Structure 1
Amino acid sequence: MSSKRTNSNVEQALLITEMMNQIGALQNRFQTEGEDEERRWMTARTSDDRVVDFLKEATVLMLHIVHAIGESELVNGITISKRFGIPRGSVSKITRRLLEQGIVQGESLPDNKKEVLFRLTSVGRKVFNLHKELHVHIEGNVREFLSRYDIEQMRFLVQCMKDTVVTSWVRFDEAEGLQEENSATEASRNLRDAGEVSEILAMLRRLDPNKLRKAKELIRIAFLED
């Protein structure tokens, strides 16, 4: 294997490791910090104490169900579940809480007392409008953020996202049985290589800038030059 190909493989392994690290950071950003930021944004834009009290304990799923009811106005739990992809058990549990908090109100059909239709209360409508404004605000910021990339970069990002949605990271199929021995050997080698790369990255992160530059130069001289 030529030094040029070795260099390319090492760089690819490093980039893959860095991308996986960034995916984890991105998940944390959206799941924790992002939720808190959205809550603060909405709280800062209302003077209604009832709305503020609700936002303090509202989860993302609760807000999504409020949004779903607000868009449909009068809707039952089954429709919310099917239309918005929220499990029926979660819809039932959350709508009960929203009823108790005065965010939604329920109405029974004259010919079917078991079926309950939900609509927003005046407080719920304020929450819905705030959440809707938040979505518009975020969409504008996302469009502004993505506009920094050129057309080719955006095409790549779109394709990468599409591929990610339809790709299984497990790739396990019982019908196919065990993989051939050479595939298992290659997978084992890849795992070992990835582990070594991760270990090297961890070591490099502990270096100060001066030592990091020296390490970079040593790697280039020892492994990458022809």
Structure 2
Amino acid sequence: MNKEEQVMMGFRELFNKIAWLNKFKMEGSFEDYKSSEVHYIECIGRNVDSNVTKLAESLYMTRGAISKMTKKLIKKGAIESYQKPDNKKELYFRLTEEGQRIYKIHEKLHKESQERDKAVFDQVTEEQFDNMLNFIEKYSNHLDAEMKKMEIDIKSE
């Protein structure tokens, strides 16, 4: 296995381990919410004036999937829609009191995960962080370009 394959396999393993460790806390803390719903709530909580387009871009989901999730979370009472006085065409979303409750629990769990992993990150030098961040940025830019090509290919079909 070459180094590129080792890096990619390492990322997958890390992601799967993090997801596995966090799954039990998530399930215990959010009895009526799936992980995808909690992350949707997090996205709305972090971004003012979230609309379908912004959510689709942030969560890498289709507009149809966003609309479906939105309806589900409105029904659960976690989010609500609103319109701006100067733009009656566009719908925006914000957290309700219930959504804020879920958002705060998620933030608490996130802090607990950071604390759990602090021992590792404390050992990483600034130079190592810079190298990792540089790699992530380059790879992310490459994937953005590939996604843009796919959009062009899909539209031309």
TM-score tier after normalising by the smaller chain length: 0.5 to 0.7
Greater RCO (Cα-Cα under 8 Å, separation 6 or more): 1
Return closer, same or farther for 1:35/1:92 CA change in 2, 3 Å cut-off.
Answer: farther
Larger Rg: 1
Shift of 1:113: 4.5
- Match of residue 59 from structure 1: 35
Return closer, same or farther for 1:39/1:106 CA change in 2, 3 Å cut-off.
Answer: same
| Aligned equivalent of 1:27, options 3, 12, 15 | 15
Aligned equivalents of 2:3, 2:87: Cα separation in 1: 59
Aligned residues with identical type, % of pairs = 19
Return closer, same or farther for 1:75/1:28 CA change in 2, 3 Å cut-off.
Answer: closer
- Match of residue 81 from structure 2: 106
Shift of 1:140: 3.0
Tell me whether 1:126 sits opposite 2:101 in the alignment.
Answer: yes
- Alignment: residue pair count: 140
Taking structure 1 as the reference length, the TM-score comes to 0.47
Secondary structure of 1:105 counterpart: strand
Aligned equivalents of 2:96, 2:51: Cα separation in 1: 15
Secondary structure of 2:77 counterpart: coil
List runs of 5+ in structure 1 lacking aligned partners: 1-12, 44-50, 170-226
Tell me whether 1:135 sits opposite 2:76 in the alignment.
Answer: no
Shift of 1:108: 3.7
Taking structure 2 as the reference length, the TM-score comes to 0.63
Which residue identity is paired with 2:13? A
Aligned equivalents of 1:91, 1:162: Cα separation in 2: 31
Aligned equivalents of 1:140, 1:53: Cα separation in 2: 26
Secondary structure of 2:42 counterpart: helix
1:145-179 per-residue CA deviation (whole Å, 9 max, x = no partner) reads 222x263xx6336414522542569xxxxxxxxxx
Aligned equivalents of 1:79, 1:18: Cα separation in 2: 34
Tell me whether 1:163 sits opposite 2:142 in the alignment.
Answer: no
Secondary structure of 1:117 counterpart: strand
List runs of 5+ in structure 2 lacking aligned partners: 144-157
Tell me, yes or no, if the aligned pair for 1:77 and 1:88 is still in contact at 8 Å: no
Tell me, yes or no, if the aligned pair for 2:49 and 2:94 is still in contact at 8 Å: yes
Aligned equivalents of 2:6, 2:77: Cα separation in 1: 46
- Aligned-residue CA RMSD in angstroms? 3.5
Aligned equivalents of 2:120, 2:111: Cα separation in 1: 14
- Match of residue 39 from structure 1: 26
